[in-house]
Amino acid sequence: MAELKKLKVIIFDLDGTLVDSTRDITNALNHAIAPYGYKPLTSGDTLKLVGEGITRLVEKVIGDDTSSIKDDILDRFIKYYDEHLTDFTRPYPEIRETLARLGRYKKAVISNKREVLSKKLLKQLDLLRFFDIVLGSDSVSDRKPSPVPLRKVLEAFRISPENAIIVGDSDLDIRAGKSAGIITVAVTYGYRSREALTQADFLIDSIDQLLALIE
């Protein structure tokens, strides 16, 4: 188990942790599936599906027997989403203020969103400047809940697992952190219920509570 007093690096999840992007993802999904007669999704529907990346998101919506149209739906989603990343997406309360107070720590984002989209979204919301590394689902050979992207960050900073924590809103973040030997902090305001986060080492109800936890 990592010791917070030795903390040097904080790894953050993106969607559901730093930003609420549900509406823009839902809009992109509905645009992508519209020509194929699927029922439009609500933001509540999307919340139940997100977390494992864009490809898995589309697969969950259209099912396994429609592979012939999957590539077109993916292309439509990515093109639309790239142009509407931050129409409604906003940082959660206290995100900018908290990140500004974490200046003495190295910081990374590991998202299951593709890297170019993750960086573009962060830049548009004036958050990219806070991070030393941003990895997406296509940055390394595997994505969360695999520990591979977390190990990539540790290698880049040349630190041991006991010097890092991961902050996220889902079991994918918790599982990845535990597999990598990193302490896990789950936020309860994101896309998953508190009950789904019980395996985390710590639970926080707002991001500014992270400051009291580590300082």
Active site residue 13: yes
Number of Cβ within 10 Å of residue 104's Cβ equals 8
Sorted by sequence, the CB contacts under 8 Å of residue 78 that are 6+ apart come out as 54, 114, 117
Q: Which of 13, 171, 173, 201 is catalytic?
A: 13
Task: For 11-79, give the DSSP string.
Answer: EE-SBTTTEE-HHHHHHHHHHHHGGGTPPPPPHHHHHTTTTS-HHHHHHHHH-TT-HHHHHHHHHHHHH
Output the six-digit token pair for 195.
Answer: 């009950």
The catalytic residues are 13
